[in-house]
Amino acid sequence: MFAIRQAAVSDIAILARHRTSMFADMGTLPADLDEPLQRATAAYLCDAMPRGEYLAWVAEDRAAPGSIVGGVGVQLRPMLPRVGDDGGLEPGPEAIVVNVYVERAWRRRGIAEALMRALLDDLASRGIRRIVLHASAEGRQLYERLGFAQTNEMRLIDRR
């Protein structure tokens, strides 16, 4: 029904559209920011993907090759070495999973899980042990099933 592959620079436009669709579906994207966010995302990805700082995978409809129905991305960020949850040394980088999105008509078919498993397998092959994400209410069950757990992370919301 679908096939997973690593995304290429030629996929940036759809990755950017999926990012804005993700925020719109969660109800957090004002309509007037859709196009600016797509442009800013595409500009970022044009720079980060060739440098290997952003990795992405897409799901394609097997019946319509080239028709991308979902995607997932991960930012690789340098971090200071730290002691990990298992008491061992975590040298970095840290991976932050972002932009998990499946087109509405394709949801509930295992696509998000297949995308996440491809991402997690790739990170494991690179020896990346610290992986974080921000879960939407809709995605939380999937992430917990894959082994993610809530942590003590906090965020400063506004310093004005």
What was the pLDDT predicted at 115? 98
Query: What is this structure's pTM?
Result: 0.92
What pLDDT is stored for residue 62 in this prediction?
94
Instruction: Report whether 58 contacts 11 (CB < 8 A).
Output: yes
The total number of residues shown for the chain amounts to 160
| Assigned token pair, 98 | 């972002």
Q: Is the pLDDT of residue 129 over 90?
A: no
Strand partners, 25: none
Q: 157 falls in which pLDDT band (50, 70, 90)?
A: confident
**pLDDT on residue 59:** 98
**CB 52: neighbour CB atoms within 10 A?**
9
Q: What pLDDT was estimated at residue 91?
A: 87
pLDDT in tens, 2-14: 999 999 999 999 9
Q: Residue 94's closest CA among 103, 86, 82?
A: 82
Class of domain 2-145: alpha beta
pLDDT at 58: 98
Does residue 30 have a cis peptide bond before it, meaning omega lies within 30 degrees of 0? no
Closest CA to 119 of 91, 149, 96: 96
pLDDT reported for residue 136: 87
For 56, the enclosing helix (H) or strand (E) is: strand 54-61
pLDDT above 80 (res 160): no
Helix, strand, or coil here: 158?
Answer: coil
